[in-house]
């Protein structure tokens, strides 16, 4: 069942087109990551979905309801980027407020704070919290009432690696219970591949979409092969691999993914010249900058 | 709807308490009331009959400066601050209407103003009864009138503060606008009118425009209504002569309509805010 549907969503500010005909859907239980540089249109897209701003063209619907409508608001939870709650309020008071707004019992406040690891800090003022702890308060309020759609703007920024893992574990639980999740991130590597699908935005346009495997296959980024010669065999090695280039003593060459075996055969054939070798696949960051760079 | 307004109000009141706005406002009002009460009948001369009425006459000119100032100080951060912290966008994604959010803040902050006003005027009443005995009871109606008109005056400037908070993008800008508004509405407006009267020298401005101009300013309407209704002499204002020539219903209407108009202005300004 599709929860979020965006169709040719377009938003312009003056002359600049911040979002250009973006079409996207998120099903119940699906985790979709929205990737892009600063200014790629991620936050604009989220604000349109939340009904905080309105599109110039195209449509958005949350389970068939218009963004910003009472039903849509009741179904949707939002975690803003770098939410800084009022420093004079305690975590518990802040949570009680949000529970009241959603018509939920206030006694759930401690339970929710416990869930994000803030049980001990519930009675302390938010002004004493670290950035990561404030982010957890934001996450706790987004969990209220088991939302059907979660919009998370850079949710893992400010979290340490352990917290980040716990955060994704929470998302897994939510998704398993049927919540549709749309989260944004600066970089593929930050996502730790914990989402079902990625959508990459560049200058307001959708430039790629699919699973990580899809994106890798489509980009077909070359592998890097690094060969270390036996002592004294440097000259012979570069003759044997004329397509490589010499870096210090070693020979570096690149090959397309489908040529991997051919390269291995060549290495095996020259084993008497070679002390060691490494093969590196393109990293997630390489993949991401390739896709977003291709668009620009 | 009331649940959400009350939830917002109670959170906002906690913020005001923790931010020391409550204690500062109460302390300011009590201190100034005490000073004015101690000064006693000196400024009012022979006109007043009982010690409380004398004090009320002095309190009118105090409240006209202090209540709007307190209201603007409490309210200027309301929307701009939330927008800067990023919590405005969050709150507006909840099932919470903009009107509810604004009303909740207004209710809480009006509570702070009311507490400060009560505390300050209670000090004045206590001093008056201590020095004048039961005779001071004659001044109670005037004191009560001062209390509720002060709260309404506070409501006007709270809502105007909210409007500034919406129109300025940052809290610092909102603060500057709030101080500017206070200076213009409370200080410069009267000076301007006085200058115009002097220049006009008894012409049509003084007879036709001036009484309306006086009533249209909520602070002046507050002062004139209290002075006219209590028949006291305003020692601090050079506009006291005008008070007697204006029908009481005019400033009264202004005092009642202004809070609604200002709240409407704040609501309309809030509509323009994009979180």
- Report the side by side order of strands in the sheet with A149-152: A76-79, A149-152, A180-185, A31-35, A197-202, A205-210
A101–B94: do the CB atoms touch at under 8 Å?
yes
Whether the CB of B86 is below 8 Å from some CB of chain A: the reply is yes
Using the structure block, give the residue that is written with the tokens 């006007």.
Answer: B156
Helix, strand, or coil (residue B174): helix
Predicted confidence (pLDDT) per residue in A27-84, tens digit: 999 999 999 888 889 999 999 999 999 999 999 999 999 999 999 999 999 999 887 8
* CA separation for the pair A186, A183 (Å, rounded): 11
Which has the closest alpha carbon to B258: B205, B220, B231? Answer: B220
- Chain A residues whose CB is inside 8 A of the B85 CB are 83-86
Whether the CB of B272 is below 8 Å from some CB of chain A: the reply is no
Whether the CB of A103 is below 8 Å from some CB of chain B: the reply is yes
B19–A100: do the CB atoms touch at under 8 Å?
no
**CA of A240: how far to CAs of A116, A224, A245, A279, in Å?**
57, 17, 11, 18
Using the structure block, give the residue that is written with the tokens 């010249």.
Answer: A273
Whether the CB of B248 is below 8 Å from some CB of chain A: the reply is no
- pLDDT of residue B266 exceeding 90, the answer is yes
pLDDT value at position B231?
61
- pLDDT of residue B198 exceeding 90, the answer is no
- Chain B residues whose CB is inside 8 A of the A97 CB are 7-8, 10-11
- pLDDT of residue B228 exceeding 90, the answer is no
What angle do helix axes B98-132 and B21-39 make, rounded to 10 degrees?
30
Contact map slice: A 35-54 vs B, CB within 8 A: 47, 50-53
Token code pair at residue A42: 């991620």
Token code pair at residue B109: 């902050």
- Which residue in the set A81, A93, A101 is minimally distant from B4, CB to CB? A101
pTM of the shown model: 0.87
For residue B271, which phi and psi values (nearest 5 degrees)? -60, -30
Polymer length of chain B: 275
Give A132→chain B minimum CA distance, Å.
15
For residue A280, which phi and psi values (nearest 5 degrees)? -115, 130
Predicted confidence (pLDDT) per residue in B93-143, tens digit: 999 999 999 999 999 999 999 999 999 999 988 988 888 778 888 888 889
3-state helix, strand, coil in chain B (%, to 5): 85, 0, 15
B89–A89: do the CB atoms touch at under 8 Å?
no
Give A162→chain B minimum CA distance, Å.
26
Q: Which of A74, A80, A141 to mutate to test the interface with B (most CBs of B within 10 A)?
A: A80
- Chain B residues whose CB is inside 8 A of the A103 CB are 3, 95
- pLDDT of residue A93 exceeding 50, the answer is yes
B94–A50: do the CB atoms touch at under 8 Å?
no
Size of interface A-B (CB pairs under 8 A): 71
Beta pairing, strands A223-229 & A274-280 = antiparallel
A97–B7: do the CB atoms touch at under 8 Å?
yes
Predicted confidence (pLDDT) per residue in B137-192, tens digit: 888 888 999 999 999 999 999 999 999 999 998 999 999 999 999 999 999 998 99
A85–B85: do the CB atoms touch at under 8 Å?
yes
Whether the CB of B89 is below 8 Å from some CB of chain A: the reply is yes
Give A43→chain B minimum CA distance, Å.
12
What is the CA A157 to chain-centroid distance, rounded? Answer: 10
Predicted confidence (pLDDT) per residue in B241-263, tens digit: 555 667 788 889 999 999 999 99
- What DSSP character marks residue A125? B
- B132 burial class (0-12, 13-18, 19+ CB within 10 angstroms)? buried
Contact map slice: A 69-98 vs B, CB within 8 A: 70, 73-74, 76-78, 80-86, 88-89, 93-94, 97-98
Q: Which chain A residue has its CA at the smallest distance from B78's CA?
A: A86
Of residues A241 and B238, which shows the higher confidence score?
Answer: A241
**CA of A21: how far to CAs of A49, B3, B187, in Å?**
14, 40, 54
First and final C-alpha spacing in chain A: 34
Token code pair at residue B113: 């103003």
């Amino acid at each position: 069942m599709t929860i979020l549907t965006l169709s040719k969503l377009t938003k312009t500010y003056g002359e600049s087109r911040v979002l250009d005909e973006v079409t996207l859907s998120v099903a119940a239980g699906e985790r979709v990551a929205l990737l892009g540089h600063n200014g790629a249109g991620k936050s604009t897209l989220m604000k349109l979905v939340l009904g905080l701003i309105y599109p110039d063209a195209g449509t958005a619907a949350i389970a068939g309801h218009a963004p910003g409508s009472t039903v849509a608001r009741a179904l949707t939870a939002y975690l803003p980027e770098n939410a800084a709650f009022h420093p004079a309020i305690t975590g518990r008071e802040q949570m009680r407020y949000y529970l009241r707004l959603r018509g939920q019992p206030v006694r759930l406040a401690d339970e929710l704070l416990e869930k994000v690891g803030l049980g001990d800090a519930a009675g302390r003022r938010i002004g004493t919290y670290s950035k990561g702890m404030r982010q957890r308060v934001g996450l706790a309020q987004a969990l209220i009432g088991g939302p059907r759609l979660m919009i998370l703007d850079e949710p893992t920024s400010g979290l340490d690696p352990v917290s980040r893992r716990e955060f994704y574990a929470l998302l897994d639980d939510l998704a398993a219970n049927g919540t549709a999740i749309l989260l944004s991130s600066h970089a593929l590597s930050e996502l730790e591949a914990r989402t079902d699908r990625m959508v990459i935005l560049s200058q307001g346009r959708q430039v790629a979409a699919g699973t990580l495997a899809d994106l890798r296959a489509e980009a077909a980024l070359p592998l890097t092969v690094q060969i270390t010669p036996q002592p004294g065999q440097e000259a012979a090695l570069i003759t044997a691999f004329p397509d490589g280039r010499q870096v210090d003593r070693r020979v570096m060459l690149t090959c397309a993914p489908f040529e991997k075996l051919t390269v291995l055969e060549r290495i095996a054939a020259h084993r008497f010249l070679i002390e060691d070798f490494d093969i590196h696949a393109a990293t997630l960051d390489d993949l991401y900058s390739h896709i977003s760079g291709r668009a620009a | 709807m009331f649940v959400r307004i009350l939830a917002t109000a109670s959170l906002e009141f906690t913020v005001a308490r923790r931010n020391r706005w409550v204690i500062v406002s109460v302390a300011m009002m009590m201190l100034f009331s005490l000073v004015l009460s101690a000064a006693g009948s000196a400024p009012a001369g022979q006109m007043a009959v009982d010690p409380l009425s004398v004090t009320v006459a002095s309190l009118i000119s105090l409240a006209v400066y202090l209540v709007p100032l307190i209201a603007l100080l409490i309210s200027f951060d309301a929307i701009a601050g939330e927008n800067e912290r990023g919590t405005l966008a969050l709150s507006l994604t909840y099932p919470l209407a903009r009107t509810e959010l604004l009303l909740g803040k207004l209710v809480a902050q009006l509570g702070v103003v009311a507490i400060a006003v009560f505390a300050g005027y209670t000090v004045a009443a206590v001093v008056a009864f201590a020095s004048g005995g039961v005779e001071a009871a004659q001044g109670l109606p005037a004191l009560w009138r001062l209390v509720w008109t002060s709260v309404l005056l506070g409501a006007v400037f709270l809502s105007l503060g909210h409007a500034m908070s919406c129109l300025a993008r940052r809290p610092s800008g909102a603060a500057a606008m709030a101080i500017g508004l206070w200076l213009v509405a409370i200080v410069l407006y009267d000076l301007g009118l006085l200058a115009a009267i002097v220049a006009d020298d008894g012409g049509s401005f003084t007879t036709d425009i001036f009484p309306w101009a006086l009533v249209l300013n909520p602070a002046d309407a507050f002062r004139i209504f209290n002075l006219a209704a209590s028949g006291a002499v305003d020692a601090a204002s050079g506009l006291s002569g005008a008070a007697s020539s204006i029908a009481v219903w005019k400033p009264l209407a202004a005092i009642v309509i202004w809070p609604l108009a200002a709240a409407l202005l704040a609501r309309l300004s809030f509509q323009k805010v994009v979180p």
